[in-house]
Chain A
Amino acid sequence: MLNLIGNYSLVFALFTSLILIVVTFINFKSNKSLNFYIFGTVVLQFTLICVSFFTLVFAFIYSDFNNAAVYYNSHTTKPLFYKISGTWGNHEGSLLLWLLVLSLFTLIFFLKTKKLLNSFRSLAIFFQQIIIIGFILFIIFTSNPFQLILPMPNEGLGLNPILQDPALAIHPPILYLGYVGSSIIFSSSLAALVCDYVNKDWARDVKKWTLISWIFLTIGIMLGSIWAYYELGWGGFWFWDPVENVSLMPWFCLTALLHCTSVLEKRSNLKSWTIILAICTFTLSMSGTFLVRSGILNSVHTFANDPERGVFVLIFLTVLILTSLIIYFKYNNFEKVTKSFLLSKESAIIINNWFMMYFLAVVLIGTIYPIFLEVITTEKISVGPPYFNQLMIPFLIPFLIIMAVGPKLDWIKNKKIEVKLKKIVLLFLSILISFLIVRHLNTKILYLTVIISAALYLFFISIVDLKNEKLKWSQKVSHLAFSILIVSIILNSVFSEEVSVNLKTGEEKKISNYLIKFENISKIEIDNYTSLKAEIQVIKKNNNLKFYPELRLYKVPETITSEADIKTNLLNDNLVVVSYLKETDYLNIRYQKKPFMLLIWLSALMLAIGGILGLRKL
């Protein structure tokens, strides 16, 4: 019964889309005020989609195994929290969540833009509806969460322990909020282009959406990294995995766009480029969806793979890209800007965009090149971390320095020697400290000195800039956060330590400066798994740390997972993870020391907070 309601709500929502397409178009063309009808239909659409979504949620909560999505992905013994989050933990349900947010943002957009040009608003809703229609059709025809299984099974199949994790439960919704925000930017930009409304008023509005999208995407990416770090327990938090890359690419675009809209809301520069960025951001989000769900990528995260879905998304993508291309080239008629913008805020932002686009290009090319190569030549290669690191880090150095000196370029013209001297002295200080940090290492001293200096320099300048009243707090906080993030990441990767030994119960081994003792192992039966907890002691000089890493033997489905014991403090994370060596009495014990992990997470959060400050106009 509920399934029918859910299914037909979607169908009715489709009808509302079609109505909206017609009404908004009429409103745009003839300038009649059909706003009341548009508003009503948008509310209706949102209500219908809500109904659909919540019927699915209830199906999960009450373990309605008539519903195929619930059957494959849920289980009666799952805790309530994970039953609910199971709604979007599968392909079909996650699309319904996408749709819900799409419709919610459409509604909010219509409500919040009352003071803007009417034809623009209508047309933006028009484009948004095209996207919504695409999604509803995709869901109904290829990914319907309301398929029935008869007769009703007694129990579900979905009890994968790895998927029962709090960070993993909220990471998708937050990420989707980021992606869907970019859909509004897309629709808004195309509408503004056609209505010749690319001006300061529009920029002020689009900037808000960009910020919202950017904040959620930043937090979403951070949550995904946190989950990977704590769940996988191998000390890594970013793997240049295709699905990670797919979330990073729109982030680069959004960051560039954020800077552009800041320019656009004050001056009238960079109009064309802003529109291009807006189109690219959403295109990347959609292409990312395609890549991840179509099965052409090899990754830890891919959903169920299905070429048919891939074809649909590809067609949808084609429609979107072609539409935006045609509209862009038809309506792109901005007067050429005559102001020179050397040595001004614009040039700093243009350079920021230049580098952002480069980083984007590296990630994009690295991710999709293997696909191209395989199709064209049938050669199969891997493009992994070494590629991304080697191409991005050298460019990070000038980027950090420009970011340090860019924001207030007035200082170049400033006559006071004091100001310039300060910048130069801070530079020397960075280099000195950086060298002192790395001098004990065996390799790559020059390279590391340079890159740490650049990061430290940005850090120092950002601290000094905190006192500068001419700069906005959102910028000061975000730039400072970014510098801390980079410094933490670099120091973390340079100063991580690791030892790995194979030991039997009661054995101990000295390796490098560490003594590793495998004290004992205890076995407990917990509801759906057997827990083997090993007591491991790690001793270095006078420091003695006790760890209790765990091996979990699940019965349904039959898997062994390894839970690392991670001890976190501000300076270091210490972690121990053990793994089963089959057919032996030995456990492989791996101890790692990872400095500054907490700083990495906190600075990412601070980055997002800077964005929130921007929303509050600070």
Chain B
Amino acid sequence: MIIKLPKLIFFLFFLTLVNFSNTFAEDSKVNEISKNLRCLICQGQSVYDSNSEFALSIKNLISSKLAAGDSEEDIYNFLKSKYGDWIIYEPGFNKFTLVLWILPLFLFIFGGLLIVRKVFINRSLK
């Protein structure tokens, strides 16, 4: 076996370093949601990143709605109904965003086909 024992030991040490924190599992829900919201009075910041009055109000709203039992989706729908789709950073999947999601994947496949075609043309030219 070519595996060098010292290397193995080094990396197991490394992983214990990383492991020392019992990470409290997820980002608080409020943070998670506010990271996905655009601060509407800021230039290109999320509600999470901003401490403008608007962002703080939204964060308070998220807290109270979560405490009242609303789900993440309820909150997003509520905010969309008040401020429009563009307050949400994640573009949903609907007729307007179909192209947005599909086009890159389509291009990837298209690129792959081009490459395959080039390989086959060359083989047949041999």
- In the assembled complex, the Cα of A232 lies from the Cα of B102 at a distance in Å of 34
Q: Given the complex of chains A and B, what is the CA–CA distance between A595 and B122 in angstroms?
A: 49
**What is the CB-to-nearest-CB distance from B56 to chain A, in angstroms, rounded to a whole number?**
7
The answer on a CB contact under 8 Å between B23 and A497 is: yes
Chain B residues in 8 Å Cβ range of A350: 115
A542 within 8 A of B: no
Complexed CA–CA distance, A357 and B103 (Å): 13
- Interface with B: A31-39, A84-92, A316-324, A433-441, which one? A433-441
CB distance A436 to B15 under 8 Å?
A: yes
Which of B8, B44, B89, B108 is in CB contact (< 8 Å) with A361? B108
**With A358-B108, A365-B103 given, is the CB distance from A579 to B15 under 8 Å?**
no
B89 nearest in chain A by CB position: A384
List of B residues within 8 angstroms of A571 by Cβ: 17
Q: CB-CB < 8 A to B85: which residues of A?
A: 379-382
A385→B89 CA distance, assembly (Å)? 7
In the complex, given contacts A358-B107, A382-B87, A382-B91, what are 14 additional A-B residue pairs having Cβ atoms less than 8 angstroms apart?
A298-B43, A298-B44, A342-B119, A354-B108, A354-B111, A365-B103, A381-B85, A382-B88, A383-B89, A387-B91, A395-B108, A421-B2, A422-B3, A425-B1
24 A-B pairs whose Cβ atoms sit less than 8 Å apart in the complex:
A241-B44, A298-B43, A300-B43, A337-B122, A338-B122, A340-B119, A341-B119, A354-B115, A358-B104, A361-B104, A365-B100, A379-B85, A379-B96, A382-B38, A384-B91, A395-B108, A418-B2, A422-B2, A425-B2, A437-B15, A441-B23, A442-B25, A497-B21, A500-B31
Instruction: Kindly state whether residue A466 has any CB partner on chain B within 8 Å.
Output: no
B110 to chain A, nearest CB (A): 10
Interface size class of B (residues with CB under 8 A): 35 or more
| Interface range for A | 35 or more
From B26, B38, B53, contact of A582 by CB (8 A)? B53
Contact partners of B31 in chain A: CB under 8 A: 498, 500
Q: Does A414 reach chain B (CB closer than 8 Å)?
A: no
Min Cβ gap A548→B in Å is 19
When the two chains form their complex, are residues B91 and A383 in contact, meaning their CB atoms are under 8 A apart? Answer: yes
Alpha-carbon distance A387/B8, docked complex (angstroms): 37
Judge whether A617 is part of the interface by a CB distance below 8 angstroms: no
Question: Do the beta carbons of B45 and A377 come within 8 Å of each other?
Answer: no
- Secondary structure type dominating chain A contacts: mixed
Bound-state CA distance A383–B26 (Å) is: 24
Residue in B18, B24, B43, B97 whose CB lies within 8 Å of A381: B97
Return chain B residues, CB-CB under 8 Å to A497: 21, 23-24
**A391 CB-CB contact with B under 8 Å:** yes
Chain B: which residue is nearest A434 at the CB level?
A: B15
Tell whether, in the assembled complex, residue A495 and residue B23 are in contact, meaning their CB atoms are under 8 Å apart: yes
Judged by a CB distance under 8 angstroms, whether A362 is at the interface is yes
Query: A234 CA to B55 CA in the complex, in Å?
Result: 14
A366 beta carbon closer than 8 Å to chain B: yes
- Mark out the residues of chain A between 286 and 301 whose CB falls within 8 Å of any chain B CB in the assembled complex: 298-301
A205 shortest CB reach to chain B, Å? 26
Contacts of B88 in A (CB 8 A): 382
Chain A CB within 8 A of B70 CB: no
Query: How far is B88's CA from A421's CA once the two chains are assembled, in angstroms?
Result: 48
B19 cross-chain contacts in A, Cβ below 8 A: 436-437, 440
B118 to chain A, nearest CB (A): 8
Which of B27, B44, B53, B91 touches A242 (beta carbons < 8 Å)? B44
Inter-chain contact A366/B18, CB cutoff 8 Å = no
